[in-house]
Structure formats: C-alpha cells, structure tokens
C-alpha cells in the first residue's frame, strides 16, 4: 500500500469546509472543527429564516434543480473624526449586528452610506446608486431628515439627525452619479436688543 493510499483511508471529510483532515490528528481538533461547522450551518439556516421576502428568490440550475438565492446583503461602516476629536462610526447596509448577543438582523431596505458635514451650512451626503432622482423621497421634521427610495428592486432608508439651527424648508439638493447631496442653510441669528436710558 502506497503512502498516498494510506493517508486517503485515514481522512475525515468536513463537507462545509470542503477539506479532508487526516484522522491521526487530535480528536479534539476534529471535534472542534465539527462543532464550528455545525454552528455555521445553524447560523446560516437561522439567517435564511429571517431574510425578508424581497431578498429571496428561486433559481433553476441547468440540471433542473431549484435552489434559493438570498441577497444582496451589505454591511459596512465609515469612521471619521468628529468636531470634538473623537471618532464617529457610521454603519450602512441592510445587515445589522444585534446588540448584546450573537446574530444579525436583516432589513429589506438598505441603509446608505451617509456623511454630515457642518460648517456655515450643513451638508448631508448620501450614497444611493442605481435609482432615478424622481424616486427619492426626502422628509424633514424637528431635527431629522428621512431619506427613502423604493425603485426597481432597490430599497434605501435612512434617518439622519441634523442640527436644530438649520432651515430645512430652504434646503437645496443635487443627485449625480448615485450621490445625493442635501444642503441646509443655518438660521440667521436675529440680533435682539434695546437701548437702555441713562438716568
């Protein structure tokens, strides 16, 4: 018997990882990998049950089998330095970690990458590629802007906090190359005062 054949006979197959492990490795290692495979399988099955209907579709393979496809799933974050010198983390996408426990929530609408720049005016920059400007809805209330899009299979939703000293009714917008820019002027401070008579 050749050494290759001897090794082949003593391999343990782990299908999820698509690898073979020689059986003479520690039983603890193999048990650990099997447990990891079981947990990954369980997590994927659990995620599949929580996927919104809009993100699920069936696909027929050339051999006639029908499989389920999910997605797209997107998760990311950007880090900028705030005016106080501390980092500001902004998440985007339609996958969100569940605070305090393992797992993810899946949303139908994708939360776009957003940045708020404050100077003499406030600029809100939002990445929403692949939609027409007519499909973009923007609502202002109190100190919040709500941006929503539902168009041609693309869904975006974002609530952005804005400073209280802006005038949303005087906002201007542009949408070019998948980037929405909303400019909000700040309220002009009225100098109130009165003369005091010297007696």
Report which of residues 170 and 40 the model is more confident about. Answer: 170
Give residue 188's pLDDT. Answer: 79
**148 Cβ neighbours under 8 A, 6+ residues apart:** 109, 136, 137, 139, 156, 157, 158
Work out the percent of the chain whose per-residue pLDDT is above 90. 16
CA distance 110 to 134: 18
Average pLDDT over residues 78-86: 82
| Whole-angstrom Cα Rg for the chain | 27
**pLDDT tier for residue 190 given thresholds of 50, 70 and 90:** low
CA distance 14 to 29: 12
Report which of residues 23 and 199 the model is more confident about. Answer: 199
Report which of residues 69 and 183 the model is more confident about. Answer: 183
Convert the pLDDT of each residue in 48-81 to its tens digit: 677 777 777 788 888 888 887 777 777 888 888 8
Q: What is the mean pLDDT of the chain?
A: 78
CA distance 37 to 115: 39
Report which of residues 88 and 190 the model is more confident about. Answer: 88
Residue 146 has pLDDT above 70, yes or no: yes
Q: Dihedral angle at the C-alpha atoms of 36, 50, 109, 163, nearest 10 degrees? A: -80
Walk me through the domains of the chain, giving residue ranges and CATH numbers. Answer: 3-49 (no CATH), 52-108 (no CATH), 112-199 (2.60.40.790)
| DSSP per-residue string spanning the chain | --HHHHHHHTEEEETTTTEEEETTS-HHHHHHHHHHHHHHHHHHHHHHHTS-GGGEEEEE-TTS-EEEEE----EEEEEEE-TTS-EEEEEEEEEEEPTTSS-EEEEEEEEPPEEEEESSEEEEEEE-TT--GGGEEEEEETTEEEEEEEETTEEEEEEEE--TTB-GGG-EEEEETTEEEEEEEBPPPP---------
The sign of the dihedral angle between the CA atoms of 176, 110, 115, 75 is: negative
Average pLDDT over residues 113-125: 89
Residue entry with tokens 């919040």 = 144
pTM: 0.60
Residue 9 has pLDDT above 60, yes or no: no
């Amino acid at each position: 018997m050749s050494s290759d054949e001897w090794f082949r006979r003593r391999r343990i197959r782990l299908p999820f990882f698509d690898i073979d492990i020689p059986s003479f490795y520690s039983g603890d290692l193999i048990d650990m990998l099997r447990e990891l495979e079981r947990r990954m399988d369980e997590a994927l099955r659990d995620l599949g049950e929580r996927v919104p209907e809009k993100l699920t579709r069936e696909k027929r393979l050339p051999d006639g089998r029908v499989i389920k496809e999910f997605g797209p799933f997107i998760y990311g974050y950007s880090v900028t330095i705030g005016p106080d010198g501390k980092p500001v983390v902004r998440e985007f996408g339609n996958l969100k970690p569940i605070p305090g426990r393992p797992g993810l929530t899946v949303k139908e609408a994708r939360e776009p990458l957003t940045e708020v720049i404050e100077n003499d005016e406030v600029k809100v920059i939002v990445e929403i590629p692949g939609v027409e400007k007519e499909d973009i809805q923007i609502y202002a209330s109190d100190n919040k802007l709500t941006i929503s899009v539902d168009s041609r299979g693309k869904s975006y939703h974002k609530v952005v906090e804005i400073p209280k000293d802006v005038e949303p009714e005087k906002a201007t917008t542009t949408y070019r190359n998948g980037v929405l820019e909303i400019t909000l002027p700040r309220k002009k401070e009225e100098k109130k005062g009165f003369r005091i008579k010297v007696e």
